[in-house]
Amino acid sequence: MKQKSGEKDYFERFTRWKMIIIFLVLALMLTITFAVTIGPKPIPPLDAWRIIVKNIPFIGNLVGDGSSGVEYSINQLIILQIRLPRIIAATIVGAALAVAGVVLQGLLRNPMADPYVIGISAGAALGASIVIGLGIGFSFLGIDAIQLMAFIGGLITVFVVYNIARTGPRVPMLTVLLAGIAITSFLSAIISFIMITLGESLHALLFWLFGSFTLSSWDNMTVTMPVIIIGLIVIIIFARQLNIMLLGEDQAQQLGVDIEKLKKIMLIVASLITAAAVSISGIIGFIGLIIPHIARILVGPDHRILVPSSALAGAIILVLCDTAARTIMEPVELPVGVLTAFFGVPFFLYLLRKKKSLVISG
């Protein structure tokens, strides 16, 4: 039995948490650098960063012009218009899915939960398939029809699931889970039906369903990026209360947590960021299920560190997967969802074996 001074240890942990965050931020920077430079036309890392920093408002002026000329312009175009939007999209989508996974696993106290379990993916997919099936094409505030309908479809589904599960002022989370699974099956049937009737556009829908960043641009992130960033901040604010929720609803309430309010806020925020993520990239699996577990194994169950480190880890993994998706079979591009599963699952299983038990909650 070790007998340490828990007092000192306790505050040391905050320092340790800061170190973890700094480490992960650096790792993310490195990953982005790597991702920016790799591609059909390799770009030296220093040039890449010069171009990126130069284009950040205010700070940009502090950087020397460096090389200019045709080469520089081409690189600038590739980075700013092709690679960077896609990398930033992967970053925020990865962070959003991982954090939504953490929140739902915590709220449902179920290690099998992921951001899609309450029906968002099926609703979003239905929205997308309707647009693709009917061949609608419009654009609003830089958001195209598929994106908009996916976002709306996801949110409507969660709204329906939530209201099916609600009894009076209370929302039993087990009912949310079951209703989510049922609605998902139902919507999947409709999507399958639409897929059969689709002719040539089937490929477009399939690619969307597997998840892809091919179509990412700055424009389609103007609304979704702020939604995700604000969502992540809200979740971090409630992190301590999420810890207490793990004790079960009765005990959480008796420790002063307004459980119904917390559940409502967390469900809304998790749904918003998931719907936003899905609207950018389509349905990317495994990130929202596996990253929370990996992070939990590495940093522990406390949401105050679990949420930010999941966000950063999700971002890193998804950027790496997307880079692999667009480069390993060049010029053919793979759906990123295929790679997240292909690399994510073995790594997860390795950690699982090493740790033996996968404990999340009561």
Partner 1 sequence: MVKLNINGVDCFYGSIKVLEKIVFSVEGGEFVGVLGPNGSGKTTLLKTIGRILKPQVGTILLDDIDVYVMKAIEMAKKVAVVPQDTSVTFDFTALDLVLMGRNPHIGLFETETKEDLAIAKKAMELTNIWHLADRKVSELSGGERQRVIIARALAQEPKVLLLDEPTSHLDINYQIEIMDLLRELCKKKKLIILAVFHDFNLAARYCDSAILLNEGRIISIGPIDTILTDENIEKAFRISAIVKRHPITNSLYVVPLCTSELKSVQPRGLKVHIICGGGTGASLMRILLEHGYKISAGVLNVLDTDYDVACTLGIPVISEAPFSSITEEAHKANLNKIDNANVVILTDAPFGRGNLRNLGAAIMALEKGVTTIAVEEKPIQERDFTNGYAQASYMELRERGAIFVESYDQILPILEELEDKLGFMSKVQAGEKNEKPQNNL
Q: Residues interacting with partner 1, by CB under 8 A?
A: 1-4, 6-7, 9-11, 14, 237-238, 240-241, 243-244, 246-247, 250-251, 253-259, 296, 300-302, 304, 359-362
CB of 358 to partner 1, least distance (A): 11
CB of 179 or CB of 246, closer to partner 1: 246
Six token digits for residue 204: 């477009």
Enclosing H/E stretch for 143: strand 143-144
**Minimum CB distance to partner 1 smaller for 82 or for 234:** 234
Q: Is the distance from CB of 246 to CB of 255 less than 8 angstroms?
A: no
The SS3 assignment for 210 reads helix
In the complex, the smallest distance separating the C-beta of residue 257 from partner 1, rounded to whole angstroms, is 6
Tokens of 124: 């979003």
Are the beta carbons of 158 and 118 closer than 8 angstroms?
yes
Q: Which is nearer to partner 1, 176 or 257 (CB)?
A: 257
CB closer to partner 1 out of 18 and 203? 18
Q: What's the closest the beta carbon of residue 253 comes to partner 1, in angstroms?
A: 5
Strand partners, 143: 140
Which residue number, 175 or 361, has a Cβ lying nearer to partner 1?
A: 361
What is the smallest separation between the CB atom of 254 and partner 1, expressed in angstroms?
A: 4
> In the bound complex, what is the minimum distance in angstroms from residue 26's beta carbon to partner 1?
24
| Residue 141 near residue 218, CB atoms below 8 Å | no
Q: Considering beta carbons, is residue 33 or 253 the nearer one to partner 1?
A: 253
Shortest Å, Cβ 258 to partner 1: 5
CA angle 235–238–243, rounded 5-degree value: 110
Q: In whole angstroms, how close is the CB of 206 to partner 1 at the nearest point?
A: 39
d(CA 287, CA 258): 30
Give the integer Cα–Cα distance in Å for 217 and 312.
21
Q: Look up residue 78 and give its DSSP letter.
A: I
Cα 186 from Cα 189, distance rounded (Å) = 5
For CA atoms 282, 139, 197, 180, give the dihedral sign: positive
Q: Which C-beta is closer to partner 1: that of 7 or that of 65? A: 7
Question: What is the SS3 assignment for 16?
Answer: helix
Q: In angstroms, what is the minimal distance from the CB of 336 to partner 1?
A: 31
Cβ proximity to partner 1, 145 vs 266, nearer residue: 266
| Secondary structure percentages of the chain, helix, strand, coil, to 5 | 75, 0, 25
CA distance 294 to 310: 8
